[in-house]
Amino acid sequence: MAMKIPFFQHKQLKESFADPEENIPAHIAIIMDGNGRWAGERGMPRAAGHKEGLSALVKIVKAAAECKVKVLTLYAFSTENWKRPTAEIEFILKLPQTFLNIYLPDLIRNNVRVTAIGDVESLPAYTQKALQQAIDRTKHNDGLQLTIALNYGSRGEILHAVKEILADLDAANMSLEELNEQSFSKYLYTAGTTAPDLLIRTGGEKRLSNFLLWQLAYTEFWFTDVLWPDFSEKEFMEAVGEYQQRKRRYGGI
């Protein structure tokens, strides 16, 4: 039997970083794309690509923690993904249970806090149970915040926020004058979390796919043709290294 590799190995930062301590993005969001194509190129079922993608996830969570990133948000399953074959959906929605069953003790020991965004209540009971257990057991940790976006769609999130705001206006819990960008953000799934500084998308596509549309207004984007199962610490650190060279002006000079 192969020996289980520790989740965290505390490697040194790679030379691709301009400065290991300067301008590290506090919040990185990732669209993990390319699992199915990775499997198809190898004549394997799509489930094999999702399984291999889980290995990439482990590497990147570890790399983010070692780089002192504060929040890592991973797009794991979108509201549009329900259009896929039933067997593939079931496999994907069991992956959080698989990942957390194996690595939750390591996440706890290394001060990682697990959270989730999306319509979690509509997910299968086994997915909800695994997520809630991880959330409950890591809620007091104050290291890397690992946010898993499951059954998430940004348009649905915004509509949900609007409905909540209308309900509060109707109940006189807030006034129209109080509604601004800051107060609106408090009704989103991501309330209390800063907007992403860097978005990474793997797999060669260059679109947002209904992911964090409100939150990504001033985020820096980094795209790669590398399919998610092949995405390694090297590519992750290349993305962070390029981010370090960018100047964010937020509409100013």
Domains of the chain: 27-154+196-244 (3.40.1180.10)
> Which one of the listed residues 33, 110, 151, 197 is annotated catalytic?
33
- Percent helix, strand and coil across the chain, each to the nearest 5: 45, 15, 40
3-state secondary structure of 42: coil
> Binding site for substrate, residues?
34-38, 46, 50, 78-80, 82, 84, 201, 207-209
Q: Judge contact between 50 and 56, C-beta under 8 A.
A: no
pLDDT of residue 248: 85
Write out the binding residues for Mg(2+): 33, 220
Residue in 23, 81, 101, 168 annotated catalytic: 81
Task: Answer yes or no: 81 catalytic.
Answer: yes
Nearest to 148 by CA among 222, 87, 250, 57: 57
pTM here?
A: 0.92
The CA-based angle 60-250-163, given to 5 degrees, is 75
The CA distance from 22 to 36, in Å, is: 36
Edge-to-edge strands, sheet with 198-201: 113-117, 145-152, 71-78, 27-31, 198-201, 220-223
Task: List per-residue pLDDT tens for the chain, 253 residues long.
Answer: 333 445 555 454 445 554 556 789 999 999 999 999 999 999 999 999 999 999 999 999 999 999 999 999 999 999 999 999 999 999 999 999 999 999 999 999 999 999 999 999 999 999 999 999 999 999 999 999 999 999 999 999 999 999 999 999 999 999 999 999 999 999 999 999 999 999 999 999 999 999 999 999 999 999 999 999 999 999 999 999 999 999 888 887 7
Residue 151 bears catalytic tag:
no
Extract the annotated binding site.
33-38, 46, 50, 78-80, 82, 84, 201, 207-209, 220
Alpha-carbon dihedral of residues 6, 12, 17, 21, nearest 10 degrees? Answer: 100
Cβ contact 78:153 at 8 Å: yes
Name every residue whose Cβ is closer than 8 Å to that of residue 199 and which is 6 or more positions away in sequence. 28, 29, 30, 31, 208, 212, 216, 219, 220, 221, 222
Rounded CA gap, 102 and 188, in Å?
Answer: 30
In whole angstroms, give the CA distance from residue 79 to residue 152: 5
Tokens of 82: 């329900």
Closest CA to 28 of 196, 180, 226: 196
Are the C-beta atoms of residues 10 and 64 closer than 8 Å to each other?
no
Q: What is the DSSP letter of 215?
A: T
